[in-house]
Chains A and B, each alone.
Chain A
């Protein structure tokens, strides 16, 4: 069992490490692979020793210590501390300094990659399994049930002499039986399924919304061709920033490895809607001829050059209805100043009350009374073949009074600010967590209740020859059937909502479904543990009681 746990954890850890290395472009994430491979090798050696000399006290002791060390390294340090605690602290808004101090060894403090965090958390159930194994192992060794060499010889003799028939087939042979047992109590099963369906639906919906909102949060820095952003040192996000001197553009442009550098100003204005309501607008001023900072995608018929003419603005395609500006040429009023809609951009939906609007840099200054000697950002493009980190370092050395960040770093900063400084991350995170807990609780209660109701059936299975492993598999299959059906129905419900409410910022990347699937599977599995424990400890002699 220990060997199986080590093998599973090796797969999980290697997958997690490779994924981390790819996602963060940091080979340092591969550092957990070696301990996992060593653990697998040691587990294999200990298993071989234990099978050869099962009563060998040193072997028992070594296996126990290994299990403890294994749990400490992978379960407690990596899973609980490195991921679970970090994410709880981040979700609860712990100060960044505290997090950096606590996780100074961590390769990345921010949980910006959902799949990476989920696979990191998978070390915990494996460790829980090892702990359970260790408890049973120590119990059996202590009680003497752990076969001594003499007893083992007898057991082998029994096996050899009596020609015990090996059990054929895997866990799948129990699927039919599990299904029959589940649906023999249709109302109870229906209740459990509803619990799993609601749980899957809410987890998918909440996480999808959060990912969609995070996508919008980062859309400004992510939708343009800017490689490096230069901004005020006090910047926490594009919503919380300050201005910098305009001459930083020239300094950046003359830095080795920089192909171009362009200013961007960001001011707040108020646009009067046709119905008289005034909406806050983030007016982004970009400079000809590159118009750096503008989204790559413009609506058909719109060109960047359309901003050359005075007082022209580009409006988000999806905000047309808000401003009743259906066609280019419509007039729009920004803080009492007239503007003309020159076209529309796409792929940059707002996440906050501020709508986005682009203007040429001079008009943007005029619309928002932005100081002439200041700008908000310097957008930097790399020369072909240049390394972003190397150029960033050069820029930072030349411009020590500003913040220089790659696109990825700006993206992470935006996400972190949104997750930590606003309640949205907590609300959606809690929503997903509560959904998982509710689903787990419903499955746990139903399976436990079913195990109590069916004690006699399980006792009969044991009496007529079911091994503990068969019972364990039967229970797990039942939990997994609930998961499989609930997962499919829950996701169908999710897509129905997504298709019928297109205004919700729901995104559907594959990792969302993988993550929700893993979370639901783990939830269903963990919630079956109480029922499994009850059934495994059931005395088969129950079948003789009237």
Chain B
């Protein structure tokens, strides 16, 4: 049995904080914060540039080790897991969607989607089949063979979403997923993300400046000067 009894929580930060530098150059990017991300919900994190929201996302995504506090996945503290275990947890438990898409230019769409499966050592035939299914889920089945440079921003972001989905990760962490997209494309991406949360019970965290994202938010968190502010539930609900 996991230490945390609340099975609704997919990802949890307990007093997580981050300090960069030492001595006079010490800079606190994130004050100790408690945050729960529930299965099936879309949590939106907003705040001005440099406020610490990406730091929070990086800590929750096990990309950055907090200087204090704990990160729990399904109730298990993984803060002190080995770097290899962290990598495997990122690979299997967390799907990332980035503002710049971060697709590998030398790989086709389907190969990009299959990268997490390749890292996991899934045989080629199986991983390409799963990658194609993920592409079809985001409506990009016809572009499987296309290289990223031939695709539009929206198409690339859909491929990135497929890559985040392909390992059936229960948590999706999105960093400004609509920042590089036009209005209608952005709305399409947001609809896809909401669908992932609602139909498949994934926890979706979106860090953004984009007010359009509030349209799919279940909860809203503000990060200002490294402090996570009280949730603006009404605004989220009213959006």
* Residues A167 and B61 in contact in the complex (CB < 8 Å), given A157-B76, A465-B88: no
Interface 9-residue window, one of B112-120, B136-144, B181-189:
B112-120
* Residues A465 and B116 in contact in the complex (CB < 8 Å), given A161-B2, A460-B104, A541-B58: yes
Please pick, from A457, A459, A544, the residue contacting B54 in the complex, using a CB distance under 8 A: A544
Interface 1/0 per residue, B69-87 and A, CB below 8 Å: 0000111111111111101
A464, B93: Cβ atoms under 8 Å?
no
Interface size on A, residues (CB 8 A): 41
Which residues of A have CB within 8 Å of B75? 161
Which residues of A have CB within 8 Å of B179? 546
Which residues of A have CB within 8 Å of B64? 541
Please pick, from B57, B61, B83, the residue contacting A468 in the complex, using a CB distance under 8 A: B83
A165, B100: Cβ atoms under 8 Å?
no
Does A35 sit within 8 A of B, measured CB to CB? no
Does B92 sit within 8 A of A, measured CB to CB? yes
A546, B80: Cβ atoms under 8 Å?
no
Query: How far apart are the CA atoms of A157 and B85 in the complex, in Å?
Result: 11
Q: Tally A-B pairs: CB < 8 A.
A: 131
Which residues of B have CB within 8 Å of A162? 73-74, 76, 78, 89, 93
Query: How far apart are the CA atoms of A168 and B100 in the complex, in Å?
Result: 30
Query: How far apart are the CA atoms of A540 and B175 in the complex, in Å?
Result: 14
Chain A nearest CB, measured from B42 CB (Å): 19
Does B31 sit within 8 A of A, measured CB to CB? no
B99, A546: Cβ atoms under 8 Å?
yes
Question: Most chain-A CB neighbours within 10 Å: which of B83, B87, B124?
Answer: B87
Which residues of B have CB within 8 Å of A183? 106
A546, B120: Cβ atoms under 8 Å?
no
A467, B83: Cβ atoms under 8 Å?
yes
Query: How far apart are the CA atoms of A177 and B88 in the complex, in Å?
Result: 19
Question: Most chain-B CB neighbours within 10 Å: which of A176, A466, A544, A546?
Answer: A544
The residue in chain A whose Cβ has the minimal distance to the Cβ of B57 is A544
A169, B121: Cβ atoms under 8 Å?
yes
Query: How far apart are the CA atoms of A162 and B62 in the complex, in Å?
Result: 15
Which residues of A have CB within 8 Å of B105? 184, 457
Which residues of A have CB within 8 Å of B83? 467-468
Please pick, from B93, B102, B115, the residue contacting A456 in the complex, using a CB distance under 8 A: B102
* Residues A180 and B107 in contact in the complex (CB < 8 Å), given A162-B76, A463-B63: yes
Query: How far apart are the CA atoms of A456 and B106 in the complex, in Å?
Result: 13
Does B90 sit within 8 A of A, measured CB to CB? yes
Which residues of A have CB within 8 Å of B87? 462, 465-468, 470
A168, B120: Cβ atoms under 8 Å?
yes
A154, B102: Cβ atoms under 8 Å?
no
Which residues of B have CB within 8 Å of A470? 87, 119
A-facing residues in B105-134 (Cβ within 8 Å): 105-107, 111, 115-116, 118-124
Does A173 sit within 8 A of B, measured CB to CB? yes
Please pick, from B57, B100, B119, the residue contacting A461 in the complex, using a CB distance under 8 A: B119
Query: How far apart are the CA atoms of A173 and B75 in the complex, in Å?
Result: 33
B-facing residues in A136-189 (Cβ within 8 Å): 147, 151, 154-155, 157-159, 161-162, 164-165, 167-169, 173-174, 176-177, 180-181, 183-184
B119, A463: Cβ atoms under 8 Å?
no
* Residues A165 and B104 in contact in the complex (CB < 8 Å), given A465-B120, A544-B175: no
Chain B nearest CB, measured from A149 CB (Å): 12
B63, A541: Cβ atoms under 8 Å?
yes
Query: How far apart are the CA atoms of A175 and B106 in the complex, in Å?
Result: 14
Interface 1/0 per residue, B209-228 and A, CB below 8 Å: 00000000000000000000
A-facing residues in B143-191 (Cβ within 8 Å): 163, 167, 175-176, 179
Query: How far apart are the CA atoms of A268 and B210 in the complex, in Å?
Result: 95
Query: How far apart are the CA atoms of A543 and B98 in the complex, in Å?
Result: 7
A167, B80: Cβ atoms under 8 Å?
no
Which residues of A have CB within 8 Å of B82? 147, 155
Which residues of A have CB within 8 Å of B76? 157-158, 161-162
The residue in chain B whose Cβ has the minimal distance to the Cβ of A164 is B88
What are 26 inter-chain pairs, A to B, with CB distance below 8 A?
A: A147-B82, A155-B81, A155-B82, A155-B85, A158-B81, A158-B89, A161-B74, A161-B75, A164-B92, A169-B121, A173-B118, A456-B102, A460-B98, A462-B87, A463-B90, A463-B96, A464-B119, A465-B88, A465-B120, A467-B87, A470-B87, A543-B63, A543-B98, A544-B57, A544-B175, A546-B179
Q: Which 5 A-B pairs have the closest CB atoms?
A: A465-B91, A168-B121, A184-B106, A169-B121, A151-B80
Give residues in A with beta carbon < 8 Å to B. 147, 151, 154-155, 157-159, 161-162, 164-165, 167-169, 173-174, 176-177, 180-181, 183-184, 456-457, 459-470, 540-541, 543-544, 546
Supply 13 further A-B pairs (C-beta < 8 A) apart from A165-B88, A461-B119: A155-B85, A161-B74, A162-B73, A162-B74, A168-B120, A169-B121, A173-B118, A177-B107, A180-B107, A457-B102, A460-B104, A463-B63, A464-B115
